[in-house]
Amino acid sequence: MKTTFFTLSLFLVSFSIQISAQETLNTSGNNMSGSTGSATASIGQSFYETMSSSAGSVTAGVQQTYEIIPTLGIDIIDINLSLNIFPNPTTDILNLKVGFKDYNKYRYDLFDSSGKLLTSQSITQSTTQITMTSYPASIYLLKISKGGKDIKIFKVLKNK
């Protein structure tokens, strides 16, 4: 009888407790943004922990942003590929400029910030225009690949 009462009490108490993930009581803080990006800072965060290894580092705490390094990909040392995107940030048209002759062997894939594939096309000319007008203001990833191998990934900022 006592264990049943205790179990029932514990069950009811657990449903009455509100869980607040990624919330903290800070003494101060600010959101800052500029033409090159944005940052958020908080003062008064009570704890955080940084773990490092040869692969990188992770800082665990209450206020962590989701950030992707601007260019990712495989380092190809013996080949010099010239890939540029402009303007970044963009509002409507994003230009992809390829500085090598066999561009028709490459393709681009555009992903939203959740990883959903939005468009995928073969590169058919040295400067390719990618229409961004129909997409909301957000962060996008533009992946350049050749034969199924990722060559370079750009972080694209889309403004209103």
Q: List, in sequence order, the alpha helices (H) in the chain.
A: 2-16
- Residue pLDDT, tens place only, 13-41: 666 565 555 555 555 666 677 766 666 66
Whole-number pLDDT of residue 1: 72
Categorize the per-residue pLDDT at 93 as very low, low, confident or very high, splitting at 50, 70 and 90. very high
CATH number assigned to the domain covering 71-158:
2.60.40.3580
- What is the spatial distance between Cα 104 and Cα 118, in angstroms, rounded to a whole number? 21
- What is the spatial distance between Cα 17 and Cα 122, in angstroms, rounded to a whole number? 53
Do residues 137 and 112 touch, judged by C-beta distance below 8 A?
no
Q: What is the pTM of this model?
A: 0.52
Please, where in the chain does CATH 2.60.40.3580 lie? 71-158
